Amino acid sequence: MIFKRAIAILTVIFIFTCEFTCVEAMPGVSAQAYIVIDAQSGRILKSHNENKRLPIASTTKIMTAILAIETIDDLNQRIEVPPECSGIEGSSIYLRPKQMVSVIDLLYGTMLRSGNDAAETLSKFAGRNNPEGFISMMNKKAKELGALNTNFENANGLHDDNHYSTAYDLALISAYAMKNDTFRKIVSTEKYKAESMNNMFYNKNKVVYQYKYGTGIKIGFTKAAGRCIVASAEKDGTEIIAVLLNDNNWFNDSYQIFDWAFENYKCYSIVEKGQFVKYTPERNPVFIGESFRCVLTDKEIKQIRFEALIKPELMSNDSETKTCGTYNIYLGKTKLGTGYLIR
């Protein structure tokens, strides 16, 4: 497994570039900026202008939804639609002032129909107990995830000159969000019956039903941003996330990227949790504490190098922790990831 190391405890994903071996050239992409990553490890497979700050339209709602899911305890509760959240311009699920709607229906309405009214209703409710408000929570979360070239001014993605992100940052945010089972289920859904509204939502993101291996996640459009898409697909354990900003051929470009990635890369398990590593000089066994996997070409897998760094002071039975060191995974001289060792 190659590292992604979500270091964390937060499960933060650090995206890294590793141009180590030649692969078949990727088809041309018309996006102003794009990035293609391995969802597990964060490895960048291809990119262009990935750090350029651009408007991102409704792909904003990826952060809105994941933060609402993490903040609101009961997703089945019904909440009241604030009057100011009804009648917002752009995409809508046509909420009425003071209408009672379940949080889960609002989440589906946000991610499948791109309802600006749904996104704003979620933001008001999820941020109600935070003195600085939901937008501040969004920006704080972005920084925690390493999305340092991102700034949110609203929860829906309507244009604001100071509302922007990058392909790189959106990949970070999206890879994180797709680790959440609830979020993943929502964005992979083709159609959904909103019980509290007696309505049916059909997913605007055609990736989930047009592309054989599609798994999500969100599209967006404004005149300023153009057509923006974050798309994901999984085949034989390999999951790819593609972010394309201002791309008139957004869906076809996504499908060509996925075909290219699956043709050239496979997901390999490098080390598994519980796997024996070695004995210390005192004959104490050391094991892998966390698994690591990553996408590699057939040539690259033969050039993987493993390094174990054991801390003798942590090997004592008196130690309060079972962690006794770290390991590093290298492809040539490039560190792909790291993890911890246990005794």
**Three-state SS at 328:** strand
Among the residues of 188-270, which ranges form H helices? 207-210, 250-264
Reply yes or no on whether 47 is catalytic. no
Going by the DSSP 8-state scheme, the letter that residue 165 receives in this structure is B
Q: Which of 60, 28, 58, 64 is nearest to 46 (CA)?
A: 28
Reply yes or no on whether 61 is catalytic. yes
- Which residue out of 47, 58, 123, 188 is catalytically annotated? 58
The CA distance from 29 to 294, in Å, is: 24
Residue recorded with tokens 């109600």: 128
- Which residue out of 114, 123, 165, 188 is catalytically annotated? 114
The CA distance from 164 to 101, in Å, is: 30
Q: What is the DSSP string of 303-314?
A: GEEEEEEE-GGG
Reply yes or no on whether 91 is catalytic. no
H/E stretch holding 287: strand 285-288
- Which residue out of 4, 41, 46, 61 is catalytically annotated? 61
**Three-state SS at 33:** strand
Going by the DSSP 8-state scheme, the letter that residue 8 receives in this structure is G
Among the residues of the chain, which ranges form H helices? 61-71, 103-111, 116-126, 134-144, 167-177, 181-187, 207-210, 250-264
Which residue numbers are catalytic? 58, 61, 114
